[in-house]
Amino acid sequence: MTLLRRYIRPEDWTPAGLDGLEDKALEVVRSNNHRSVIAGPGSGKTELLAQRASYLLQCGVSPRPQRVLALSYKRDAAFNIAKRVSARCYAEQAHRFDSFTIDAFAKSLVDRFGQALPPEWRPTPDYDVVTQSRDPIFRDFFRSLTPPASVGTAADIMALSVKTFEKRWIVSRPLSTRPVPNPPPGDWAADQFWQAWLHGSARSYLTFAMIGRLAAHLVHTNPMVRQAVQLTYSHLFMDEFQDTTQVQYDLVKALFLGSDTIVTAVGDNKQQIMRFAMAMDDPFAAFEADFKAQRTPLQNNYRSSPDLVRIQEILARAIDTNTIKPASKTAASVTGSSCEVWDFHSVAAEGAALAGYVASEMKAYKLKPRDFCILVRVRAANYMKILAPIFAGAGIQLRNESEMVGEVALQELLGEPISEIVIDLLRLVSAKRAGRFWTDCLDAVCFMRGLALDDDDARAKVAAGLDKLSTDFAAIHSEPAASHAEAEAIVRMLIDFVGRQHIVASSPDYRQGDWLAKVIDAVTVHLEISCKAAANWTIALDVYEGEHAVPLMTIHKSKGLEYHTVIFVGLDDDAWFAFQSQTKEEMCGFFVAFTRAKQRVIFSYCAARGNRAGIAPLYTLLNSAGVKTIAKKST
């Protein structure tokens, strides 16, 4: 039987797993009001939320049976917060912490209660989620419409932008205000689209934004659903709040505005890079006005060296003049300049110089390949095609982490819970000596099975099971998988050991739709590829995780990550083609790229790739921060 632990008195609680928090962060952890937390790069926002969850759960501020809810923009962020909380709390406490992406949470509401929606807005129970590009879908839909004369002409419909149709018309307003009386062409077309996708065939089709609108309408028309959610959750965390869309924010408002649930929104308005995906212009201002939230900026930067933080402040003030002065809490560990712009005449010279630089820095500072990152603005595959063979010639493997494995991006795959447990178990069962893999696997399996830390009998059974799994695996799969079928059998064997139902129970995103199946397929394919030409399991698993490869990725994929040295390739007009039309968002992207680095940032420009007149403000900004541009001669 699991023992329920006594609550800690709030005055006796201290942060666990770290030396301490800055005063403002500790104030947020203990707060009992709505907070808008501006957490700059390297401020430890995930740790802040984990410590707040620990405080609420361990001190009974969120009393049983109530729970704490965390909503994140991305899957990996949702998983990372849950993982951090599980390391800070006892299992029975951590199990009262729910971490979802906000889209997955909205979908769970529609899946559970959607049949209570009014008939005109009720999707079929087996609706499909559409995630691919909608541009051709919208274009074909426009062609099929014949508007009444009171609305306009077919030409008026065809003049609508497929790029903005969903944001501007389909999900632009709550469903309670639809249909629109005397609608303009855009609203009329949007109403036709809703009805076609909800009721035009045997199965409904929805985007995540449409699901969000349905979830909010469900709450609006069914007060009992709202009350049930409010009674369940005493506190709500909103992570990466700067990327929140109007649809998502309206759902949060519908659920929690005016309730006893205390909301903590955390993010950085200077890192807003998702406006193309319908992010609000200023969600912090809206939240502070609606919820009367108290704005609390964090000052400390635990990631970057003092000189990089000095440059970051200059970049930050170009985006937000009200930004507070950050304070670096990390010492410089390299000699020479912390940031430079390198000019090249040819891509060959550029690639050779960058590869040579990485090789020399690894040797000089005893760094590993994954201490570096090659960042690009767009078209990662194009840069990979040029740079990979040059780096290989210098004995360095380059890996495109934006590459898709089936329907899952490689970088996203590596952070998936099911991928992590499969690799952890493979490390254990294929190792001659278990070492740290034993404890990691025991804790992970026990967590997924919901076992308390003091449930000695149950944990002993898991330990015995791991021993048997190791013996069975060695007898059948002593060598890396030689085929897709063998990789599939290995993945199935390991999932069956943990228990699919336990994996689903511990990972909210796996509870709806076919995401779990897609991730399992991607794990299988990536494992098969990683095993090819691998002499043993250690090599295969290192390849799987990219242990000996320098990652190459886009800015958007780098969000939330950090590296000793960041090399940004392509500081030119071609890569930053939207800079003049979307200056603020592009400035935020530039800021995100710069702030991934702990010790050094190198910007690379190649004249053969394009001009830089269009992004001259970026060069002016770097120059004002004392960043030198160095002409690199061909070798």
Q: Residue 430: name the closest of 540, 308, 546, 314 by CA.
A: 540
Return the number of other C-beta atoms located less than 10 Å from residue 6's C-beta: 8
Which of 235-249, 436-450, 499-513 comes out lowest in average pLDDT? 499-513
d(CA 111, CA 105): 10
Which two structure tokens, joined as six digits, stand for 587? 């400035």
- Alpha-carbon distance of 104 to 71, in angstroms, equals 9
Per-residue pLDDT, 78: 83
3-state secondary structure of 436: helix
Does residue 199 register a pLDDT over 90?
yes
What is the percent of the chain where pLDDT is above 70? 97
Using a 10 angstrom Cβ sphere, with 0-12 exposed, 13-18 middle and 19 or more buried, the burial of residue 433 is: exposed
pLDDT above 80 (res 126): yes
pLDDT at position 452 is 67
Which among 469, 548, 416 is positioned nearest to 76, based on CA atoms? 416
Residue 1: per-residue pLDDT: 39
CA 514 to chain centre: 19
**Alpha-carbon span 302 to 19, nearest angstrom:** 12
Q: What is the pLDDT of residue 75?
A: 75
Residue 410 confidence (pLDDT) above 80: yes
Q: Above 80 in pLDDT, residue 341?
A: yes
Q: Examine the pLDDT at 562 and tell me if it is beyond 90.
A: yes
Q: What is the mean pLDDT of residues 423-447?
A: 88
Q: Note the pLDDT of residue 2.
A: 45
Between these two residues, 83 and 22, which has the higher pLDDT value? 22
For the chain, give the longest Cα–Cα distance: 77
Closest CA to 209 of 158, 256, 254, 173: 173
For the chain, how are helix, strand and coil distributed in percent, rounded to 5? 50, 15, 35
Q: What angle do CA 114, 116, 121 make, to 5 degrees?
A: 70
Is the Cβ–Cβ distance between 277 and 163 less than 8 Å?
no
Render the burial of 59-94: b for 16+ CB within 10 Å, e for the rest.
bebbeeebbbbbbbbbbbbbbbbbbbbbebbbbbbb
pLDDT in tens, 270-309: 887 766 667 898 999 999 999 999 999 999 999 999 999 9
- 52-81 tens-digit pLDDT: 999 999 999 999 999 999 999 887 788 788
| b/e map 359-384, b = 16+ CB within 10 Å | eebbeeeebebbbbbbbbbbebeebb
Contact call for residues 630 and 341 (beta carbons, < 8 A)? yes
Chain centre distance of CA 337 = 31
Nearest to 550 by CA among 338, 393, 381, 392: 392
Q: Which residue has the higher pLDDT, 573 or 454?
A: 573
In angstroms, rounded to a whole number, what is the distance separating the alpha carbons of residues 214 and 80? 28
The CA–CA distances, whole Å, from 24 to 27, 39, 43, 81, 228 equal 5, 11, 11, 20, 33
Res. 634: pLDDT tops 70:
no
**How many angstroms separate the CA atoms of 554 and 570, rounded?**
11
**332, 621 in Cβ contact below 8 A?**
no
Instruction: Give the residues across from 569 on adjacent strands.
Output: 604
Separation between Cα atoms, residue 134 and residue 200, nearest integer Å: 17
Model confidence pLDDT, tens digit, residues 452-477: 666 789 989 999 999 999 999 999 99
Per-residue pLDDT at 495: 96
pLDDT digits (tens, 9 = 90+) for 343-368: 999 999 999 999 999 999 999 999 99
- The pair of structure tokens assigned to 71 is 């909503």
Output the 3-class SS for 111-168.
HHHHHHCCHHHCCCCCCEECCCCCHHHHHHHHHHCCCCCCCCCHHHHHCCCCCCHHHH
Indicate whether 3 pLDDT > 90: no
Q: Is 507 helix (H, G, I), strand (E, B) or coil?
A: coil
- Main-chain phi, psi angles of 407, to 5 degrees: -105, 15
551 pLDDT higher than 90: yes
Beta bridge partners, 342, equal 604, 630
pLDDT of residue 275: 67
When the pLDDT of each residue in the chain is averaged and rounded to a whole number, the result is: 92
Residue 476: which residues within 8 A CB-CB, separation 6 or more?
Answer: none
Average pLDDT of span 555-566: 92
Are the CB atoms for 570 and 577 separated by under 8 Å?
no
Q: Is the dihedral of CA 231, 232, 235, 241 positive or negative?
A: negative
Rounded to whole angstroms, the Cα distance separating 547 from 549 reads 6
Burial string for 137-157 (b: 16+ CB within 10 Å, else e) reads: bbeebbeebebeeebbeeebb
Phi, psi angle pair for 280, to nearest 5°: -65, 155
Is 60 exceeded by the pLDDT of residue 492? yes
Cα–Cα distance between 452 and 3 in angstroms, integer?
Answer: 8
pTM listed for this prediction: 0.86
The one-character DSSP state at 38 is E
> Residue 196 and residue 190: Cα distance in Å, rounded?
10
Helix ranges (DSSP H) in 376-455: 380-393, 410-414, 417-430, 436-448
Contact call for residues 103 and 211 (beta carbons, < 8 A): yes
Tokens in use for 402? 């934006």
Check if the beta carbon of residue 215 is closer than 8 Å to that of residue 251. Answer: yes
